[in-house]
Structure 1
Amino acid sequence: MRTVSVAAGGRPRVAREEIDRLRSGAGFPESLRNQLWVVGTAEGAQLIGVSPARFARLARAGCFAPVRFYVNRYRAVVWHYLASDLVEFADASPELLTGRTDPALRMELEERDDQRAGSWRARRLGQLTVLTEDPWERAAAVAAVLPVDQLADAVPDPYERAYVRALRPDLAGIRTDSAAAREVIERVTLAVDADEIGRHRERLAAALAAAREARPAPKPGGHVPRPAAVPAPGPAPDSPDTEPDAVGGRSPGGERETQEEPAAPAGLRGWLRRLRLIA
């Protein structure tokens, strides 16, 4: 479902044209409900006719990707899946639903880490990049799954990194006052496997190249507004007492970047502070 950008701090809105498109679909509203039907482990196992234990093994092996998650009161991640994905998997791989677990799959489970977080990240990035036509927002979506040190290395230019961090989306969309829960959410949203980080860095490099061709990252005195219904920031006043988010700032998880960079001009610090306010 495509959304349109709104003023800073507002929730994305759905255009009337998109609502009309959904309403005109065959079998509305049941068809739309079926597309959006999500299930947990117990209901998903019942849906495809397997035990919850087998369902969990299939999910950990990456046979189907979660569509969302939440952190329960025990700080455990609870995954949800699209029912339509599970039915499609069951129809395509009936041999994995009955009898002894396939030896190749069993070896996969024993040798590889849990694939659910990685497959969720890949799915979430696919959703975010297809829903925007702005190349800098696409780059920011990919950058959102990289740890602070990896992002600093992948985007060495402080102006570009500040812009990417200002545009980065909230991948999980979960609000919590619990520091422990935030730590769990960060473990899900940030890539840790070296191969996955490498893939995301390659994707980010390509996205940045496309974004640079479209327009440069904004700098003090030469603002380049993003093509959305967000007012472009005006010149920022000098603010020598505030450190910029992109130079020795703090990451979404509260960690401090370790990469040392030259001190930024006072005008840049003020401008970066404004970027944080609209991020």
Structure 2
Amino acid sequence: MSGTTLPTGHQTTCTPSRAARELGLNRSEFELAVHLGRIRTVPDEGGGGQRVALTELERLRGQAGFPDALREGVRTVGTQEGADLLDVPATRFTRLARLGLLVPARFYLNRYRTVVWMYLADELRQFAADPDNTALLTGRTPAHLRGPLSEGGDLRARNWRGRHLGFLLRQAEGPWQRAGAVAALLDPVQIAELVPDPYERAHINRYRPAPPTHSTPGSPAAELAARIMTADDPDEIARLRADLARAVVEAREHHPAPRPTPGNTVHLPAPPDHPPAPTGPDTAVRQHTRTAHEPGEARPSRVPHAARTPHPAHAPHGRSRRPERSRGVFGRLRRTDPPARTAYSALNRPSWTTDTSSRPRRS
């Protein structure tokens, strides 16, 4: 807007979308570069997420081979293209990834809700160039590696979680944020066992990042991403539990979790002993029927006859109980003269009561 002075922080930083355009990256490439630490970000002073300093853009532009080198450093490939880079069949590439020798950089779900793992092309080229990996790329898979494969072992999700945890810890700004980063990879049951205090647990959940997915919350894709985000290997769970316990101790020493103070407690007024007195022309009748008199309390001297009539269940001994007045057609007939009741009974009497000859006889 013309004539508007922006805050100092906004004058020296820019939004991630603008930074991506300035660097010639698309959205996924920019996010991956931030995750890998290739692009440094700073927190927004207004609480709007992360921003990129203008000096960081100048540093990246000054690197050799910009922008192709930056774009190639964050280029990811799938299984088939990765196998071509290693010059191996796709089945061998998958086995190497399942064994944890190739670490995925990101994943996404295709239209069949199948997890597609993506790998950094630069890391695959380095793996192929290492002489120690020649035996893994050619010939028979070593015997000590065939055992985990035959048992269905798959370390792709675990290795991705380890890489993602490194990104979360780099983005954390304090001890409680670091505790939330570690807790993001644990099941809520594990967190409840390690952090029994509900206020500390709520404070950790406040900084617990969500799974990196753009799916609708609650959708099958989002649930699958949450399962990938949650540790399931016993060794990994034990390590994360130890890291979370250590992070919580450090966070307590730095700054205790906020708790409600007695001064902030809201006291609601106590409900009245009796309901408010009704208003209207029949106030005396409804007041008498709905409100019980306390012992020793004086009853009203003048109460309408309908209110003074005792209930049939509480009628004095020896006095005939008055039945309740029926409503509907039968009630109106009972209150009419006897000839009308007789005529109505004759019209509605079943036929077999008037003609006994048509009754079936018992043999």
- CA deviation vs aligned residue, 1:204-262 (integer Å, no higher than 9, x gap): 1122222222222222349xxxxxxxxxxxx989699xxxxxxxxxxxxxxxxxxxxxx
Is 1:3 the counterpart of 2:45? The answer is: no
Q: Which deviates more, 208-217 or 115-124? A: 208-217
Determine the C-alpha separation between the residues in 2 that align with 1:236 and 1:64. Answer: 54
Determine the C-alpha separation between the residues in 2 that align with 1:156 and 1:178. Answer: 27
Report the equivalent of 1:188: 228
C-alpha displacement of 1:11: 4.2
Matched residue SS, 1:175: coil
Structure 1 segment 1-279 matched on structure 2, within 5 A? 1-6=39-44, 7=46, 10-92=48-130, 93-111=133-151, 113-176=153-216, 179-221=219-261
Determine the C-alpha separation between the residues in 1 that align with 2:163 and 2:170. Answer: 11
Matched residue SS, 1:210: helix
- CA deviation vs aligned residue, 1:22-52 (integer Å, no higher than 9, x gap): 2232322222112211111111111111111
Determine the C-alpha separation between the residues in 2 that align with 1:157 and 1:178. Answer: 28
Q: 1:19 to 1:111 in 2, by over 3 A?
A: same
C-alpha displacement of 1:140: 0.5
Q: 1:177 to 1:150 in 2, by over 3 A?
A: closer
Asked whether the equivalents of residues 77 and 118 of structure 2 are also in contact (C-alpha less than 8 Å), the reply is yes
- CA deviation vs aligned residue, 1:134-182 (integer Å, no higher than 9, x gap): 2211111110011110011111111111111111112323323663222
What's the TM-score once normalised by structure 1's chain length?
A: 0.74
C-alpha displacement of 1:19: 2.3
- CA deviation vs aligned residue, 1:92-145 (integer Å, no higher than 9, x gap): 212211122222222232236211111110110011112334221111111001
Q: 1:106 to 1:164 in 2, by over 3 A?
A: same
Aligned residues: 227
Q: 1:16 to 1:157 in 2, by over 3 A?
A: farther
What's the TM-score once normalised by structure 2's chain length?
A: 0.58
Determine the C-alpha separation between the residues in 2 that align with 1:239 and 1:174. Answer: 43
When Rg is computed on C-alpha atoms for both structures, the one with the higher figure is 2
Note the residue ranges of structure 1 that are not aligned, 5 or more in a row: 223-234, 241-279
* Highest RCO, 1 vs 2 (Cα 8 Å, sep ≥ 6): 1
Asked whether the equivalents of residues 2 and 131 of structure 1 are also in contact (C-alpha less than 8 Å), the reply is no
Asked whether the equivalents of residues 124 and 171 of structure 1 are also in contact (C-alpha less than 8 Å), the reply is no
Question: Percentage identity across aligned positions?
Answer: 49
Q: 1:26 to 1:134 in 2, by over 3 A?
A: farther
Matched residue SS, 2:41: coil
Determine the C-alpha separation between the residues in 2 that align with 1:105 and 1:36. Answer: 30
Matched residue SS, 1:79: strand
Determine the C-alpha separation between the residues in 1 that align with 2:191 and 2:226. Answer: 15
